[in-house]
Structure 1
Amino acid sequence: MAGDKVLSIILGGGQGSRLYPLTHARSKPAVPIAGKYRLVDIPISNCINSDIKRMYVLTQFNSASLNRHIKNTYSFSFFSSAFVDVLAAEQTPDNKGWFQGTADAVRQSMHHFLRHDFDYALILSGDQLYQMDFNEMVKAHKKAKAKISIATIPVNAKDATSFGILKSDDKNQITSFIEKPDASLLPDWTSEVSDEMKGEGRNYLASMGIYIFNRELLIELMSNPDTIDFGKEIIPQAINNHKTLSYQYEGYWTDIGNIDSFFEANLGLTDDIPKFDLYDKSKRIYTRARMLPTTKISGTSLNKTVIAEGCIVSAAKIDHSVIGIRSRIGDESTIINTYMMGSDFYQNLDEINDPNSIPIGIGKRCFIKNAIIDMNCCIGDDVRINGGDHLEDVETDTHVVKDGIVVLKKAVTIPNGTVI
């Protein structure tokens, strides 16, 4: 089994400033998605589905909730070698500071990896949404006798300027690399892609930030402390000296880099046939097993809406929205184009009925559109939040507006009658 020879290294990313305020108190891989999962569940589930069951998650900012989630979620048999471990940046005699980049994170953690027997290191990003069989990539890597493999996805000219673009020959061997090329350079950077991709105008191969390195080469490359990033330094330098394979992937893949792409990816789950398929038994996404009651809905008109477990909903209307675990929504409220993350716990009836406080959830007669509501928010009655292009980017104590999306910060209280 290919998985026995593979060690997976999942990069947790930096401070996640582009996903702020969702990353204010948690690391990027711990951000809740799809109403019940965390971002880190995606690469971990892809590994488990590919029989790769030895994983390290590298992180350095706000890692407490990530640690807690992984400890409570991924328990394997005592009699197997499977594990998911979080490695936070640590000061050692050799390393005095934080991870400086993706390659530096791997370099600083190498002493942990080398305790294990593996032939291939699979390096993944902790903030992407996709479903991929890594076994196929490992097989292609071995068959080509490559030293490095890079997962690539065909993109169109408009998107190509935002990615590292690779050029491959007829044997899928990568010959050159350019980081975020100017549009004027693109005619020289087309690669051979399938007829379907050509038909969609997707003629450029973008790096997905998913790499396979042979063990010995990784050790050699990590011995140079001057290179700190895979995409900007290691890959461009290695292409000329080591056989590097392009592994083309044509399924759904999105990089959750900012609030806009995060919002779009979550609301995309409400499509009749979503591009990211949570219902495929062979590509199951795993997360913490919570013993939650069923969701209860009373008098609500629902359209293109995903609702997680344990919710109590008596809204008038919910349209094109994702409602997360333990959400509570009051009478006559309308929710449109919104991702409500839900709550970490239930309040008792005394807390909910306390006249001096606003309970967790959304109150009565609210109107909420184009919003992301972080965990444990308390929204009073008659609150109106109307996101859209008419709003300028702004930050207050309770919320941030980015690209017209109103993001309520975690656990804030929005008083009765507030208008945003």
Structure 2
Amino acid sequence: MNPRISIKDLCYKPGSQLRLPKSFSSIFYTKNLQTNGSSTYLLPPANKCQSVAAIVFGDGSSHSKLYPLTKRRSEGAIPIAGNYRLIDAVVSNCINSNISKIYAITQFNSTSLNSHLSRAYSGTNLLKEGFVEVIAAYQTPEDKGWFQGTADSIRRCLWMLEEHPVLEYLVIPGYHLYKMDYQKLIDVHRSSNADITVSVLSKQRNEDLGFGIFALGSKNQVIEFKEDQELKASKSVSAEDSKEARDIARRSFPSMGIYVINRNTMIKLLRDYFPSANDLKSEVIRGAISLGLKVQAYLFDGYWEDMRSIEAYYRANMELVRRTNEAYNRFYDRDTPLYTLPRCLPPTLVNDAVIADSVIADGCILNRCKIKGTVVGVMTRVADEAVIEDSIIMGADAYQYQSCMGEEGMGIPVGIGEGSLIRKAIIDKNARIGKNVMIINKDNVEEANKEADGYIITGGIVVITRSAAISDGSII
């Protein structure tokens, strides 16, 4: 490695000629099989977003606050708004922003997520000449353990990421709900000649988001990053803080976990400067700031739900049915639609049911029931006289026939039984709710772990676990 080459030398600047040092020319070098093995250089396409590859992380961690929804699935695979998965919002943002090279890095409980991504986006015309490529956690003779974090997983996948000649990587979590035109983010990155651009929330949020805070200078250049524990410690400082400290506090914004990083900057940081770093934000990006690289901020002022808790997930679904803000429009925007797995399901069958302010997915069978303020997922069956209010019913993976019930679930079919009442609850997939069941949190409990009985309560919301069976006449 040439020690005289600085990381600044490796960063392409818009408007300049792309010239790489000899030691790095292999990055864009390949064999052209159609010219008898002669050598050629591949340059990124002219379209500004075609020269960007997205790296999507489909899961947060093994200690998700969305448990028990993440007991058998990763965060990105959680159903949302009846027909979709959380990761669909992020992949759709990429497609609608003309970013067609998408790598999805998965690890925890990734089976359903990997299956969804492969079935929904492989071979689709939406991506034209692009792809959605799933990179599941793997081991090699050199690396025999799990991915240890975002930085570690990208570093171990660089050999695959380097196959395509792009200028920047867009790094994004796959389990947040929002609509963003990534072209605007990339424009800010390039116009500011930044090495790294981080996306931050410009709107103040009352709750602790848990993603850390970026402090910005006068031209939105990042001057500092603080983790949550550092923020809590700083609150104990006396009121006699310096004016500079108070100014920094006023110019601090929550991180969204979304970054644009110049390709060569990423490679250099991960392999040379921070070869043992595990986390991209707290170690690598913070380290880039200390190295003097230009880290810019992009202020985002649109709707964004982080989905870091059961309460946040419930709130996002309820905002959809109440049509209170941009969340509703996100799913019905014809110019930037949300994509997902096409299903060959029949239309929903409604038999003398009363439905108000609700979202009903495909393939449901709703008999003489009442549904209000509820998201009803695919292939949900609701029996006569059932009442569902302010709830999320995730539905089923397949139709169930009476002859297939057997003894499993005490003979209770998948779906909502006759005369049952469900209020402010989340019913996970394939759950069996018997007849005359009341899921209403009758004792107004805030937190309870009754997983052995098929449910938990968190934030006052009752969550019936996947494939749980609630016997006839039960009161929760």
Q: Same fold (TM over 0.5)?
A: yes
Q: Does 1:358 align with 2:412?
A: yes
Give the secondary structure class of the aligned counterpart of 1:136. Answer: helix
C-alpha distance in 2 between matches for 1:71 and 1:231: 28
Q: Give, in angstroms, the shift of residue 384 of structure 1.
A: 0.9
Counterpart residue number, 1:255: 306
CA contact (8 A) 1:270 1:321 kept: yes
Counterpart residue number, 1:387: 441
C-alpha distance in 2 between matches for 1:191 and 1:69: 42
- Note closer, same or farther for the CA distance 1:110–1:291 as it changes in structure 2 (3 Å cut): same
CA contact (8 A) 2:172 2:259 kept: yes
CA contact (8 A) 1:166 1:207 kept: yes
One of 57, 69, 79 as aligned partner of 1:11: 57
- Note closer, same or farther for the CA distance 1:387–1:189 as it changes in structure 2 (3 Å cut): farther
Q: Does 1:302 align with 2:352?
A: no
One of 367, 373, 385 as aligned partner of 2:427: 373
- Note closer, same or farther for the CA distance 1:178–1:188 as it changes in structure 2 (3 Å cut): farther
Q: Deviations over 1:270-312 (max 9, x none)?
A: 1234422210112211000112111122333323211111111
Q: Deviations over 1:309-366 (max 9, x none)?
A: 1111125322221111111111111111210000111123645899972111001000
Q: Which amino acid aligns with 1:367?
A: L
Structure with a larger share of its residues in strand:
1
Give the secondary structure class of the aligned counterpart of 2:472. Answer: coil
Q: Which amino acid aligns with 1:268?
A: E
Counterpart residue number, 1:96: 144
Give the secondary structure class of the aligned counterpart of 1:282. Answer: coil
Q: Deviations over 1:140-175 (max 9, x none)?
A: 111111000001112437336744211222322112
Structure 1 segment 74-223 matched on structure 2, within 5 A: 74-76=121-123, 80-156=128-204, 158-159=206-207, 162-180=210-228, 181-182=231-232, 183=235, 187-191=246-250, 204-223=252-271
C-alpha distance in 1 between matches for 2:466 and 2:57: 24
C-alpha distance in 2 between matches for 1:17 and 1:80: 35
C-alpha distance in 2 between matches for 1:356 and 1:303: 32
CA contact (8 A) 2:428 2:467 kept: yes
C-alpha distance in 1 between matches for 2:279 and 2:247: 25
Give 5+ residue unaligned stretches, structure 2: 1-46, 238-244
C-alpha distance in 2 between matches for 1:304 and 1:399: 26
Q: Number of matched residues?
A: 409
Computing the radius of gyration from Cα coordinates, the structure with the larger value is: 2
CA contact (8 A) 1:351 1:359 kept: no
Structure 1 segment 387-406 matched on structure 2, within 5 A: 387=441, 389-397=444-452, 398-406=454-462
C-alpha distance in 2 between matches for 1:317 and 1:132: 36
Q: Percent identity?
A: 37
C-alpha distance in 2 between matches for 1:138 and 1:383: 52
Q: Deviations over 1:73-112 (max 9, x none)?
A: 1033699531111111111122111111111121121111
Q: CA RMSD in A?
A: 2.3
Q: Which amino acid aligns with 1:117?
A: P
- Note closer, same or farther for the CA distance 1:258–1:272 as it changes in structure 2 (3 Å cut): closer
Q: Does 1:67 align with 2:114?
A: yes
Counterpart residue number, 1:337: 390
Give the secondary structure class of the aligned counterpart of 2:385. Answer: coil
Give the secondary structure class of the aligned counterpart of 2:157. Answer: helix
Counterpart residue number, 2:471: 415
- Note closer, same or farther for the CA distance 1:81–1:39 as it changes in structure 2 (3 Å cut): same
Q: Give, in angstroms, the shift of residue 5 of structure 1.
A: 0.6
C-alpha distance in 2 between matches for 1:160 and 1:33: 23
Structure 1 segment 245-324 matched on structure 2, within 5 A: 245-276=296-327, 277-324=330-377
C-alpha distance in 2 between matches for 1:379 and 1:48: 39
Give 5+ residue unaligned stretches, structure 1: 193-203
C-alpha distance in 1 between matches for 2:205 and 2:435: 47
C-alpha distance in 1 between matches for 2:253 and 2:382: 44
Counterpart residue number, 2:285: 235
- Note closer, same or farther for the CA distance 1:90–1:383 as it changes in structure 2 (3 Å cut): same
